[in-house]
Structure 1
Amino acid sequence: FGLVSALGLVLLAAPVAQTEAILAALAPHLRPGTVVTDAGSTKTDVVTAARRALGDKIAQFVPGHPIAGRETNGPDAAIANLYAGKKVVLTALEENAAGDIERVAAAWRACGAVIHRLTPREHDKVFASVSHLPHLLAYALVDDIAKKPHADLLFQYAASGFRDFTRIAGSSPEMWRDISLANQAALLTELDAYMAQLTALRAHLAAGDGAALEQVYSNAQRARHLWIKAIEAAEAPPSPDKE
């Protein structure tokens, strides 16, 4: 950690439960002018941990979250263009200087990322819905099938749909354990809402109500198409300048 004193920008990339210990170890080496940011998938807990660990140096910590994860991890999984066209959410603190926020933003823009801003609480509510819940569901489905006595037969016939739905179940269990617990309240809210949706779908299925099932499926298909269209437009490379 002694080298930190010579750096202008430090990126913390570790499971969120390790944030406080790492920042506490960094704190004695932080000189004025050094900015620390992170890549954690939850923010309210990270900010709380940072305040405890850094104390009066909290202004030097600019929380962030790159939205470009993969199901693989470790240095061998690195790819050069991972962040190109992808969002990075900064959840800046009121103590952060504008110049420090811009330093972090500029570093991410240099990787090709697009900067967005949310509060820590907004961030955690959003990602409980569109990231943390999907991971929980993928893990649960694969675990459920793996525990069945005829799991080998089921996996033998699982094809592209199953692979696509469960891709994120290949992610780091340690990391997602920490994320799930760190965002527990928001994740429970989303899980309860999803369970209510499943209960309604079960009722439609039990009643043989094809129209109700189709309405849910059609709404989901339409919403997904619109989302994909928006994502593709946002991540499209800029057109070459015309002379």
Structure 2
Amino acid sequence: MTKPLFRKVVIFGVGLIGGSFALALRRMNAVDEVVGFGRSAQTLVQAQQLGIINRSGSDLAAELGDADLVLLATPVGQMAEIMARIAPHLGAHTLITDGGSTKCDVVNDAYKHLAAHISRFIPAHPIAGSEQSGATSARADLYQNKKVILTPLPENSTDTVARVRLAWELCGALVSELTPKQHDEVFAAVSHLPHLLSFALVHDLAQRENRDLLLSFAASGFRDFTRIAASSPEMWRDISLANRDALLIEMGRYMSELETLRNALAEADGNKLEEIFSIARSVRSNWTSQ
């Protein structure tokens, strides 16, 4: 870019999501200065050494008053507290967005703690993660050709949403829009439930006396299915609780599906099993070919 989109961006949480956002904007010359806040001084030092941030922040009033954009890239369970802390110090033109994996809870927190700034809070969710975390996992191409979901609020202006959309597009992302409710229902089914299932399978094996023997024979199928069980327990605890209602509905549907499979096995109903497997195979094959 000939002229940076932002003069100053302030990021809370300079790990995989926040750090990659900063690196992508810096690679595109879309920001002059990135300031990082976080719980760990060591992570902030790493982030500066890795070129993710220009410096770490210590004074909220000094850093937020003239910030063009604030990104909340922490686990969703921490966002309410951060919103309450930053609200008194935000500038009159500062935009705020987030990278949380759930949206209804984050939006509710924003209405409570960012009421005076709600027109400038544009919720977002980048669909580009990894089981890795921390500043050392951040990379400039994380969002390249990956989806980012915006869930604009009625109070947001068209120009405000467009500016945040452009920021993510400069990171290489493909940006879509949903309502917060639509977002949480969709991701309960295709993201949150799969993570719970993966954690549950590994937890089940972990409690068995012969777990080492079992794992010694586990091959690529087990590895692929359980890769996401290496994700952050803290983050997925927060996501599960934040999207509890939608996730409980999806778990109920999955348990019903398991019961159907169990009955087919108990009755040695090969036709039913093949029918289920065939439908699943067809949908999976069509999805991956898109």
Q: Which runs of 4+ in 1 moved over 4 A?
A: none
Q: Distance in 1 between matches of 2:192 and 2:138?
A: 22
> In 2, distance between residues paired with 1:80 and 1:103?
20
In structure 1, the partner of 2:209 is 149
> What's the counterpart of residue 147 of structure 2?
87
Partner deviation per Cα, 1:25-67 (whole Å, 9 max, x = no partner): 1111111111000000000000000111112211111000001
Higher relative helix content: 1
Alpha-carbon offset, residue 214 of structure 1: 1.1
Question: In the alignment, which of 48, 70, 75 is matched to residue 10 of structure 1?
Answer: 70
Name the stretch that deviates more: 221-230 or 89-98. 221-230
Q: Which is further off, 171-180 or 22-31?
A: 22-31
Output the CA distance in 2 between the equivalents of 1:221 and 1:156: 28
Instruction: In structure 1, list runs of 5 or more residues that go unmatched.
Output: 231-243
Asked if 1:54 corresponds to 2:114, the answer is yes
TM alignment of 1:11-90, pairs within 5 A: 11-90=71-150
Output the TM-score relative to the length of structure 1.
Answer: 0.93
Question: Under a length normalisation based on structure 2, what TM-score does the superposition of the two structures give?
Answer: 0.78
Of stretches 24-33 and 123-132 in structure 1, the one that deviates more from structure 2 is: 24-33
Amino acid at match of 1:109: E
Distance in 1, matches of 2:140 and 2:119, equals 30
Taking the aligned partners of 1:88 and 1:69, their CA distance within structure 2 comes to 11
Aligned residue type for 2:280 = A
Distance (Å, rounded) in 2 between the aligned partners of 1:55 and 1:79: 33
Give me the identity figure in percent. Answer: 53
Equivalence for 1:137: 197
Q: 2:264 aligns with which of 204, 214, 218?
A: 204
Q: 1:177 maps to what in 2?
A: 237
Counterpart residue type for residue 95 of structure 1:
E
Deviations 1:151-186 (A, max 9, x none): 010111111100000010010000000000000000
Name the counterpart of 1:236: none
- Higher mean C-alpha displacement, 122-131 vs 47-56: 47-56
Provide the aligned C-alpha RMSD in A. 0.8
Unaligned runs of 5+ in 2: 1-59
Number of residue pairs the alignment of both structures matches: 230
Partner of 2:125, secondary structure, is strand
